[in-house]
Amino acid sequence: MDTSEKKTFKPVKNSAVREILLTLLTYAVLYVVSFFLLVLLIRLPIFSGMHVLMYRGIVLIVISGIIASVLMVLFKKLKGITWLSAKDVVLVFILCCSINMVFFTLIPVTVERSVSVFMLSYMDTFDERTYTEDEISEIFVDKYVTEYGAFEKRFDEQLTTGTIEKNADGSYSITSKGRLIVKLFRLISDVFETDKRLVDP
């Protein structure tokens, strides 16, 4: 009887391991698909009216995650797979959106608005000369802030998100939404001990 139990137990164990590996492989393939879908969607004129890269990216990340989930459902139905469930479909959506969001905010958004990226790129473009710290500071103000309209771009973003509003006399005020976000920023600054000057100037 013991021998019989061992014989039946081993195939079950192997089957479980196989299903786990196939599930992980399916997740990985669908994530790669969602990533390339995101890149494709970014390059297409979809939601191009959203001028804030971060917000457009969030919408497209959700779309790519939904498509990946739909592909899993189709794959499950076409192949008659029983080891993938509705829970896996939800998990694939969460996985794809989460990883793509981390990548998008760390890389493309940073490239689009980082002072460090501008400084290094400028020095690389004009690498035939050297610079003093004061010269780099002056170039940053003249080029990044003034010529490229860095302040205006960020200001318009806050108007778009509703954290500030224009008054009847043409002045601007912070909204209740803006105050809530500032409180959140200050809490995050306290928890992670970031530079307090930016959240409490």
pLDDT in tens, 96-109: 999 999 999 999 98
- Let me know: does 97 contact 67? Beta carbons within 8 Å: no
Question: Which H helix or E strand runs over 189?
Answer: helix 176-192
- Between CA 189 and CA 195, with CA 191 as vertex, the angle to 5 degrees is 30
List the one residue out of 64, 30, 66 whose CA is nearest residue 44.
64
Condensed to tens digits (0 to 9), the pLDDT of residues 164-185 reads 999 999 999 999 999 999 999 9
This prediction has a pTM of 0.77
